[in-house]
Amino acid sequence: MGDKALVLLLVSLGVVAAPAGAEDLAEPYRETSREVLARAQADTRAWDKLAYLTTRIGNRLSGSPGLENAIAWAHEAMQGEGLEAVRLQPVRVPRWVRGRESLRVVSPVPRELPMLGLGMSVGTPEGGITAPVVVVRDETELEALGRAKVEGRIVAFAPDWEGYGRTVRFRSSGASWAAKLGAVAVLVRSATGRSIGSPHTGALDYAEDAPRIPAAAITVEDALWLRRMAALGETVRVTLQMEARLAGEANSANLIAEIRGREKPDEVVVLSGHLDSWDVGQGAHDDGCSCMAAWQALTILKQIGLRPRRTLRLVLWTNEENGLRGGAAYREALGAALPSHVAAIEMDGGCERPTGFGFSLARPGAARPRRGESQPAEPTDPGAVRALARVRQIASLFDAIGASAVRWGGGGADIGPLMRAGVPGLSLETVGEHYFDWHHSQGDTLDKVEPEDLRRATFMLAVMGYVLADIEPRLAPEPAAEPSR
């Protein structure tokens, strides 16, 4: 390793400070950052927009009138604010309909159980499914039971909480695991560490080599109750009724607006969140607050009159929750123009107090760790080491609000197609103390958002997006072009 590379590595690790005379990326932007912070701290429009979105429009599942109303409202409002190149990028999305649903214990203690069908699940036959419940903690216990003890039964996954990245696998794959052994339905502990009797929905992924069976989320409390009943040797019988069904596809769109670059308008930094939500709650933290913060970040920059060298492009994605077709459509439309993209930022972790950013840069086509898999604390690729050091310099602009940490490993589901092609990806990070308490539940409502946290997120997105679109040279080398498809 050469001396320069060693210094960059040590700076990125925080072992040494930047040497005297070294380039300070943040210094030319400190006054601009202070001006943006003052504007963001006085801003009420991001909150007003979020209040309208959550109160007047409400939840916004792909294929629903709610989502299309939100897109139409935001499209008109962005045009009214004078943002540039405001447009809709058409996307076909799946239309999943929940319908009526219920879960009732038949014996030994008859009672209703709160539940939410998992997104993209099939429904039950008319009249529902009545069957005994077999309770397992994980896939190992399920396999140990074998077909003889699973066939014709409803499997309840009641794992311990290991964090979202690990525990969500039961929601994603549990139905197919159980179906391969003959189960007729599954109940899954909600992917949350804390609950007050609230089920949390989310998408499942049916395997191609397994029957599709109904799947529903139950509360943490009821998952643990079923586990205790099983430990007592009790057999619990339930009736599950779900009208869930796929109802074809619907027209939707990514919503795009820009501040065009003053020198290199064909080079782009993406600033984004996803406008769709699940069909419960108000979609405040997931992901309405992020969309409003990103939108208002662009608006504040326009109000101040800041125009970076490159184009800063706002994208409000469609269909993140149950298909990711918005991100795929955007990448597909780029074709051979992919190298125009300098970086992509996505906020999709709620709007609690921000702490900094996550950052990732991979070689095109390189496999990313699966959800729940550990990642290295720092990059080893020299190009990624240099880029991470530069992002950490930019993040010093957030010292004023105590949010300058930059960890290795960031990005988002919608910008995933860009990142896999070699575009640097960033995610706004927060303390994450309560996000999964509300995530995908009826509790994801406006009252859980602190206005000051929303203002801080707006400031950070505005500054990071602006600086990445303005610095020379660009954050990382151009990703390899791919032929248009």
Nearest-angstrom CA–CA distance, 28 and 306: 14
Looking at 226-263, which runs of residues are DSSP E strands? 237-242, 245-259
Please tell me what DSSP assigns to residue 168: H
Could you confirm whether 162 is annotated as catalytic?
no
Q: What is the largest CA-CA distance in the chain?
A: 75
Closest CA to 264 of 330, 197, 311: 311
The Cα angle at residue 439 between residues 138 and 465, in degrees rounded to 5: 120
What one-letter code names the amino acid at 38?
A
Nearest-angstrom CA–CA distance, 156 and 485: 43
Q: What is the DSSP string of 362-423?
A: --TTPPPPPTT----SS--SHHHHHHHHHHHHHHGGGGGGT--EEEE----STTHHHHHTT-
Residues 320, 321, 346, 429: which is the catalytic one? 320
Closest CA to 416 of 334, 360, 333: 360
User: Which residues belong to the active site?
Assistant: 320
